[in-house]
Amino acid sequence: MAHPIAKLHGSARADWRGWPLLFGLLAALHVLMLGYDLHHPGRFLNADRAGGRMQVLEGFRRTWEGGGDLTAFLAQHGIVGDWLPQALLYLWGGQYLVIVAQVALALASVAWVRSIGTRLGMAEGSARGAALLYGLLPHTVVLPHQLASEAIFVPLLVGSFALLVRSSSARGLALAGALLGLATLVRPITLLWPLVCVLFLSATLRARALFVLAALTPLYLWMLFVFAATGDLSMGRSDHDLGRNLYERAERIAASAGVPAPESPTGDRRLGVAGYLRFALDHPSPALEHSARDVAVLALKSGTERVVLDYLEVDAAERAELQASDGWRARLERDGAWATFRQMTTRHPGVVLAAAGGAIAFAALMLLAFAGALAWLRENRDGAAAPRHRLRLLLVLFPLYIAATAQVVDAAQSRHRAPAELALCLLAVAGLPVLRRRLSRTFSKIPRVNLHTEVRRAR
């Protein structure tokens, strides 16, 4: 059954002239970057946690080729989607096959953003503009060329959204749920998102149930595998699982506030959700300050440093210092925003200039997205427009969901916002007409001066 939005707007037959050229330019950019990758292979490992992930990939390759115990290896290295897709690509073709596959997914996600926009009732030009904006964001540009889980996770999520807005049939929603489930198997932060989605879907109860089932099945099958291999019903343990992240988050909060860090019940530097909440309630002000810093990072840190430092590696010494244990985020927590800004301006003026320019641009994007969200919230929600309105509400909620789930990592980075950038780009383009109307009203109130008349009066 076709989705009601398609009937409303005829988006499947929209004028798509100009789209092939736009898409071709983005593809050409990545081809040029692939040539750069060939001459700078080390940039592949400049993503966060890339060194540790490469050790896992090499270990998998040795186990595979040496006839080792694959079951034990899989069960001992955390949630499987975080590394296995890249490990298989690396096994079959090395790091350049990983890059090519990730670039293909990134370009597909750009096309999906356009499709989402047209299905949600945006004009073809607006949908193309949102896709172009998304395709040029630092994370979309750089992360496909590095060993980063977001290069797999984010396109799967965007593809799930594209299927979700395309159809209300049981089959279509099951496919959308399956892609979402695979994304959750890469990064479990989307585990609760299917339960939010079903509240906004215009579909039968059976179709919604299939969506949730398809979205949750991959993760639960993996948990059953871990249980069969280890006797532990979990997602698998690693140095970056939920328990370790919550402990390190509490440790950072304690250090910034000068209070004792919580004790790990098991003595292995892990903390459960209940233990972390108790610690946060015992120290509410430092915990809220840490969350406020996370929100500021997610809202303003554009990710330009991933181009300047990680990919182009303009100054390797600067990069090493900023990413050390006493890097910019540790200074921010210890010394405050103004002191950190002064220190970094003195020691890293180029980085500060690039980051400040990116922050200003991203602040403008966020303001436009906020205006677009308000416009969508106020739109007509009755009659035939109701299905579109509910899906637009879902898109508005997604950045808030991502910001909330970022509270389970030790300290939010701009890459943690990457899943929400598809929604931010669509909302920002939707906010442009609001900005134009406001500017038009403002300028219309300014008295017009007839220069010829004023000159004659002066005479």
Whether 405 maps to a domain, the answer reads no
Number of other CB atoms surrounding residue 264 within 10 Å:
18
| Most confident listed range (133-147, 231-245, 408-422) | 133-147
Instruction: Give the closest residue to 150 by CA, choosing from 303, 38, 324.
Output: 303
270: left (phi over 0), alpha (psi -120 to 50) or beta: beta
Whether the per-residue pLDDT at 230 is higher than 90: the answer is no
What is the residue range of 66's domain? 4-238
* Residue 431, amino acid: G
pLDDT of residue 99: 98
Separation between Cα atoms, residue 390 and residue 220, nearest integer Å: 29
Mean pLDDT of the 6-26 span:
65
Tell me the per-residue pLDDT of 266-316, one tens digit each, with 9 for 90 and over. 777 888 888 889 989 999 999 999 999 999 999 999 999 889 888 988 776
Instruction: Give the closest residue to 164 by CA, choosing from 188, 125, 129, 200.
Output: 200
Separation between Cα atoms, residue 433 and residue 428, nearest integer Å: 10
Residues 103, 106, 110, 116, Cα dihedral to 10° = 150
User: What percent of the chain clears pLDDT 70, i.e. is strictly above it?
Assistant: 88
Mean pLDDT of the 421-447 span:
83
CB-based contacts of 240: which residues, under 8 Å, 6+ apart? 49, 78, 82
State the pLDDT confidence band at 165, using cuts at 50, 70 and 90.
very high
pLDDT of residue 217: 96
Residue with the bigger pLDDT between 419 and 310: it is 419
Tell me the per-residue pLDDT of 138-153, one tens digit each, with 9 for 90 and over. 999 999 999 999 999 9
pLDDT of residue 16: 60
CB-based contacts of 273: which residues, under 8 Å, 6+ apart? 242, 246
Number of other CB atoms surrounding residue 350 within 10 Å:
12
Whether 419 maps to a domain, the answer reads no
DSSP label at residue 261: P
pLDDT of residue 7: 43
Measured over the CA atoms of residue 83, residue 88, residue 94 and residue 97, the dihedral's sign is negative
Whether 273 maps to a domain, the answer reads no
pLDDT of residue 454: 52
pLDDT of residue 444: 64
Scan for tokens 């303009």, then name that residue: 314
Mean pLDDT of the 13-24 span:
74
CB-based contacts of 156: which residues, under 8 Å, 6+ apart? 105, 179, 180, 182, 183, 186
Instruction: Give the closest residue to 146 by CA, choosing from 243, 258, 24, 49.
Output: 49
- In three state form, how does the secondary structure of 144-169 look? HHCCCCHHHHHHHHHHHHHHHHHECC
Whether 188 maps to a domain, the answer reads yes
Whether the per-residue pLDDT at 26 is higher than 60: the answer is yes
pLDDT of residue 351: 78
| Helix axes 328-335 and 337-347, enclosed angle (nearest 10) | 140
Q: Are 356 and 137 in contact (CB under 8 A)?
A: no
Whether the per-residue pLDDT at 264 is higher than 90: the answer is no
Whether 448 maps to a domain, the answer reads no
Separation between Cα atoms, residue 156 and residue 162, nearest integer Å: 10
Instruction: Give the closest residue to 319 by CA, choosing from 95, 96, 48.
Output: 48
Separation between Cα atoms, residue 99 and residue 147, nearest integer Å: 8
pLDDT of residue 322: 66
pLDDT of residue 56: 93
The number of distinct structural domains making up the chain is: 1
Separation between Cα atoms, residue 417 and residue 430, nearest integer Å: 20
Whether 190 maps to a domain, the answer reads yes
DSSP readout, 312-337?
S-S-HHHHHHHTSTTSHHHHHHHH-H
State the pLDDT confidence band at 9, using cuts at 50, 70 and 90.
very low
Whether the per-residue pLDDT at 344 is higher than 60: the answer is yes
* Residue 79, amino acid: I
Whether 27 maps to a domain, the answer reads yes
pLDDT of residue 12: 41
pLDDT of residue 339: 77
CA atoms within 13 A on the CB side of 445: 5
Whether the per-residue pLDDT at 456 is higher than 60: the answer is no
77 φ, ψ (degrees, to nearest 5)? -130, 45
pLDDT of residue 2: 45
Number of other CB atoms surrounding residue 344 within 10 Å:
18
Whether 387 maps to a domain, the answer reads no
Whether the per-residue pLDDT at 40 is higher than 50: the answer is yes
3-state secondary structure at position 68: coil
Whether the per-residue pLDDT at 396 is higher than 80: the answer is yes
Mean pLDDT of the 94-108 span:
97
Q: Are 283 and 254 in contact (CB under 8 A)?
A: yes
pLDDT of residue 457: 60
3-state secondary structure at position 112: helix
State the pLDDT confidence band at 323, using cuts at 50, 70 and 90.
low
Tokens of 29: 């950019």
